[in-house]
Every structure is written in structure tokens, then in C-alpha cells.
Copies of this chain bind each other. A is one copy, B any other.
């Protein structure tokens, strides 16, 4: 679970633990990963926290070495928001938004895929945003990264068609999570946004019990 320290990643880890699965949560900040690990263990989960910047291929490699056991599910949930008009785009903004939303998702998927192929089973879930489906004037770089991740997941889906490995791409609307306090350039009223535990519930129903189908894309919005 990338982005597992807080928000939707934490809620998904909580749900997977409650379903009896061992979960490794990955996050950039070692302190926050440790706190989330302790909270999830307090709830009875078999949870391990791993500090790792998934936009760095060497760190991703080491993280999967630590996990070791066959990985049944990869959840790409990590994300960062930097917003503002096109005129205010900087090279640093592009690099940070790409690393946080796109590069790490590709590197983690590339690293887990050989393990899943060897095991003959697996599901790669990427949680993007409705910003991957439309253009938004104040979110040009964020839209680029999210559409980019959508294109990558489409390529992955085509590559894995007919294999036992599934892909699920999720496009949630805004959630009440720490994403917004870390984001720059937009300060929406998150009080009306979705509860991440509700969103996690919708995702896990599909991912944990797909039956004979492939739900390859899900858009989840406020009523």
C-alpha cells in the first residue's frame, strides 16, 4: 500500500487488515509510517510499515525485498497535489507532481509484476482522481500526472489481458483526507467531501471479490 500512512491508503490498509490480510504500508515519511503501523497493529492487523520514496527505483527494490512474501495486491495510492494556473507552472512543480503521482506508480507496478507473474496471480490497483478524466483550469500539472497514470494503467491492462493478473483503476472525487492540508494552490471546503473509509469500502468489495469479472475502472463521486 503506497500512501498507506494516512487518508484513503490508511483506510484501505485498515479494511484489508480487517479482512485478515497481511499489509505492508509504504510512505515517504518514516515517522508517519511508524505511527500508522502502530495504529493498525493496535486494531489487530498484521501490518508492517516501510519508509520508501516510490519515485526512486532503488528504494522500491529494497522495499519489495523487505516484503519478500508473494504480493497478492499492489495498491498505488500515494499522491501529492500542487495546483494553480498554467502561467505559474515551474520545473520543480512538474518534477514533484510527476514523482508523487506518476513515476512511483509506474516503478512500483514494474517491480511487483514479475512477482505476480511468477505466482500466477495478483491485482494491481491504482487510485487516481477524477482529474484523470477531465481537464481543470487550476490543475494543469496535476491533470497531466493523473492522465499519465491513466494511460499507463491502460497500457498495463492491455499487456495483462488474458493473464491471471488483474488491474483496477479508480477515479475518486475529493475525500476528507490530509491530502488537502499538504496540497498547495487550492483550499476547497473539504467538509462536504467523501469519507475515505466509504471509498475504501467500495474499492475493497470489488478488489477482494471480483468473481469471474474484471472491474477495470471505477469512478467514485459524492452523491
Which residue of B is nearest A132, CB measured?
B151
User: Given A89-B110, A110-B86, A147-B148, A154 and B141 touching (CB < 8 A)?
Assistant: no
Select one of B91, B137, B140, B158 contacting A56, CB under 8 A.
Answer: B91
Scoring A residues 90 to 127 as 1 if CB is less than 8 Å from chain B, else 0, what string do you get?
11001000100011001101100110000000000000
Indicate if A28 sits at the interface (CB-CB under 8 A).
Answer: no
Interface: A191 (CB within 8 A): no
A85 interfacial contact with B, CB 8 Å: yes
CA distance A55 to B90 in the complex (A): 11
List the B residue with the shortest CB-CB distance to A124: B86
B85 touches A159 (CB 8 A): yes
Asked if A48 CB lies within 8 Å of chain B CBs, one says no
User: How many protomers of this protein does the assembly include?
Assistant: 2
A134 interfacial by beta-carbon distance below 8 Å: yes
**Residue contact A107 to B91, C-beta cutoff 8 Å:** yes
The majority secondary structure among interface residues of chain A is: helix
Contact flag A137-B159 (CB < 8 Å), given A98-B98, A106-B89, A144-B106: yes
Q: CA–CA, A86 to B145, complex, Å?
A: 18
* Given contacts A56-B91, A86-B113, A110-B87, A135 and B148 within 8 Å (CB-CB): no
B102→A86 contact, CB < 8 A: no
A155 within 8 A of partner (CB): yes
* Nearest-neighbor residue (CB-CB) of A117 within chain B: B87
**Chain A interface (Cβ < 8 Å from any Cβ of B):** 55-57, 85-91, 94, 98, 102-103, 106-107, 109-110, 113-114, 131-132, 134-141, 143-159
